[in-house]
Structure 1
Amino acid sequence: MVRDVDANTPLSAREVCQILREVTFERRTMTKVSLASWDEIYAGHFVVSVEGWHISIYNDSDTLDYCEECVSPEGRRWSFDGGDRFGTDPIALLSTWEHQTLERLLKAL
């Protein structure tokens, strides 16, 4: 069953995490949107596209840190808020293996 979701309904951290998780298991394809490579950015935002999902991930000194923002193909949005409690960042919801795999995939783009 497909449910209709209003474009104004914000994405949850879990929904964004699931997209990233599917990348780590090679169920979805991730491509680089940023002009610079992961290594060239070193510390800053790195933007990728996952089949129409635009995701901005923070590279902190060559280390996968947190998800800054995600916009779904329908225009739904999730944004990082420094006041959020631990575990509400999609990156923080990944397992250790998923986190390491995603970081490796980002470096390879």
Structure 2
Amino acid sequence: MIRVCAQTWDELYAGMFMVDVEGWSMTIFNDCDELNYCETCLSIDGRRWSFDSGDRYGTDPLALLSMWEHQTLERLLKAL
């Protein structure tokens, strides 16, 4: 995982945080130092997922993570 944005997780505090994970570009919303939702995911081959407020609950990729996975991802993002 590589941070793509200029600011660290702590410096941003609230806003969009961009990372690259094995070729996937992800934009994640940092809500007051908490991992909130995924705004977009884009793969190398052009597959794309984008947040839409009209989507059914649970379609956000972060909503599919277990509590342990969510906490681990948040810890990794804070360490970048």
Q: Which residue of 2 aligns with 1:107?
A: 78
Aligned-residue offset at 1:51: 1.5
Unaligned regions of 5+ residues in structure 2, if any?
none
1: CA distance, partners of 2:20 / 2:29: 14
**Partner of residue 59 from structure 2, selected from 71, 82, 88:** 88
Deviation at 1:85, TM superposition (A): 1.3
One-letter amino acid matched to 2:44: P
The aligned residue for residue 31 of structure 1 is 2
RMSD (CA atoms): 0.5
Bigger share in strand: 2
Which residues of structure 1 form unaligned runs of 5+?
1-29
Aligned AA (2:23)? G
Greater C-alpha radius of gyration: 1
Which protein is richer in helix relative to its size? 1
**After the TM superposition, which residues 1-80 of structure 1 pair with which residues of structure 2 at under 5 Å, given as runs?**
30-80=1-51
Q: 1:98 maps to what in 2? A: 69
| Percent identical | 69
How many equivalent pairs are there?
Answer: 80
Runs of 4+ in 1 over 6 A off after TM superposition: none
Post-superposition offset of 1:95 = 0.2
Using CA pairs below 8 Å that are at least 6 residues apart, which structure has the higher relative contact order? Answer: 1
Q: Which residue identity lines up with residue 63 of structure 1 in the other structure? A: E
